[in-house]
Amino acid sequence: MPRLTPETLASASPSAQRYAYDRGVIAPGIVHLGIGAFHRAHQAVYVDDLLARHPEWAIVGASLRRPDTKEALEPQGNLYSVLVRDASGSACRVIGSIAGIIDATTEGETLLELMARPSVRIVSLTVTEKGYCHDPATGHLDLAHPDIVHDLAYPSTPRSAPGFLVEALERRRRAGIAPFTIMSCDNLPSNGRTAQRIVGEFAAARGRELAAYVETVAFPSTMVDRIVPATTDADREAVAAMLGLDDAWPVVTEAFSQWVIEDHFPAGRPPFETVGAQMVEDVEPFERMKLRMLNGSHSTLAYLGYLAGHQYVADAVGDSAFRDLIFGLMTEEVMPTLDMPGTDLAGYRDALLDRFANPALKHRTWQIAMDGSQKLPQRLLGTIRDRIAAGQSYDRLALGVAAWMRYATGTDEKGDPIDVRDPMVDRFRSIAAEAGHNAERLVDGFLGLREVFGTDLPNDPAFRAILVRLLTSLLEQGAAATVAQVKPR
Ligand code: CS2
């Protein structure tokens, strides 16, 4: 079967939708750091809808860690397909909005030169939580992070996202060019403020004039939402069958997509509101809602589901005890912490449960379980803090945290090893090695991770006691039995 390229596209199956503009005239106005599956199924699709009218806003994507996206897409002229799937069927669409891909591990200078051009007015980011090189509990830059140590020592050949952003801003400053706007699209609380803090702290470590220039940069916050599981070989085959062309790296996603953007782009922006994004003054309530309701449920389902032998999210919520747990978690423990007048939170919850149950999306619990140390604070711990402050219960949220601890021991319920992926995995290993399967010692060991729990939660005896009780149950009875015992209040 021929490969998807601009030349072969004419022979693609007529049922596949395709971009409706001349790719010969598009030009990069956005540089995106972290061109993974999520970006390609989300922002790049919104931009694809814009380019016919606004060709100056195409995207050049960069990957900071691996060359694989470039290797797969460059032979395709950076075209790829988005396969939208649910129980009612699937639809395939070819996206053309990626004008180029840069492998920052070998082409850092090319990336910096592009970021320093005046025509680039937005640099957006999906570098995942750990890409911010910060302390997740405090949100401050981790100056001891190896990539940050490197980038401060060798500022013109950076490795990290803060290193690239600040070096590019320094080049603009020296050339007398206005800064670009930095738009974080990661699942972090107040992601614009978080990005601003990290970039500002990195710039301050480089010099006073640069720090003053960085203070003029705009950092709009955004809430992004679309479920995008990692692409599998079966997905590639499904796309080839629908498209009639081979695509080395399509992305598979759901029909739902949401993007809420703080309208603060002094350097200019494309009219995102014309292609379905919501431009608002304050994104924070939306971010909090999404992180606590969707991502908090996701992480809870991921750890408990994995331990109970559910490979996919849809399998876990297909189990009525799990569904009841997540319904109760959202309704009784998360929703009362959200202040969203005018938003139908019960409707949002029900739509989330339907999205989790999408049988056509094979979203692995193991994938969501990754990087828990970076995710827990904004997904579960912030809600727990609010519940504690209000004198309210939080048993289901605590079960999510206890399940993370059980998962992070690195051994499953059958005694088999778990492939735990996390920047702090070495510390998990030593905690588990010292504590064995003693719940109290495990809880104390994990609560000692200040970067995750801060200094308040470890000193709360009630929080510790609930975790010990739930972790004892997970260790002695297993995840399925523990979930089945959670009673509605
Ligand atoms: C998931 C998210 O992998 C994860 O941690 O919770 O990627 C989730 O699918 C997205 O935030 C949905 O918008």
pLDDT tens digits for 56-77? 999 999 999 999 999 999 999 9
What distance in Å separates the CA atoms of residue 56 and residue 71, rounded to the nearest whole number? 25
Nearest to 322 by CA among 333, 334, 313: 313
ipTM of the complex: 0.99
Q: What is the pLDDT of residue 488?
A: 61
Task: Kindly tell me the sign of the dihedral angle through the C-alpha atoms of 315, 316, 322, 323.
Answer: negative
Kind of pairing between the strands at 89-95 and 17-18: parallel
For residue 368, the CA-to-ligand 1 centroid distance in Å is 7
pLDDT the model gives residue 162 = 98
Q: Report the amino acid identity of residue 243.
A: L
Angle at 140 between CA 139 and CA 142, to 5 degrees: 120
Say whether pLDDT at 143 is over 70: yes
Q: List, for residues 186-215, the tens digit of each pLDDT value.
A: 999 999 999 999 999 999 999 999 999 999
- Mean pLDDT taken over the chain: 97
Distance CA 108, CA 159 (A): 8
Average pLDDT value for residue range 333-349? 96
* Model confidence, pTM: 0.97
Q: Ligand 1 centroid to 419 CA: how many Å?
A: 19
- How far does the centroid of ligand 1 lie from the alpha carbon of residue 259, in Å? 14
The token pair that represents 158 in the structure block: 């950076």
Q: Are strands 122-125 and 80-86 parallel, antiparallel or unpaired?
A: unpaired
Q: Which atom of ligand 1 is nearest to the CA of 371?
A: 5
Pocket test for ligand 1, best of 42, 224, 227 (most atoms within 8 A of CB): 227
Q: Whose CA is nearest to atom 9 of ligand 1?
A: 227
Q: Give the pLDDT score at 487.
A: 74
Closest residue to atom 4 of ligand 1, CA basis: 368
Kindly write down the DSSP assignment for every residue of 223-280, as one continuous string. EEE---PPP-HHHHHHHHHHHSSB-SS-EEE-S--EEEEE---TT----GGGGTPEEE
Mean pLDDT of 358-367: 97
201 to 46, 175, 205: CA distances (angstroms) = 32, 22, 6
Number of the ligand 1 atom closest to the C-alpha atom of 375: 5
The ligand 1 site (C-beta within 6 Å) comprises 187, 225-227, 294-295, 298, 367-368
Choose one of 38, 365, 373, 376 to mutate for the ligand 1 pocket test, by most ligand atoms within 8 angstroms of C-beta.
38
Separation between Cα atoms, residue 379 and residue 218, nearest integer Å: 26
Name the residue with the closest Cα to ligand 1, atom 3: 368
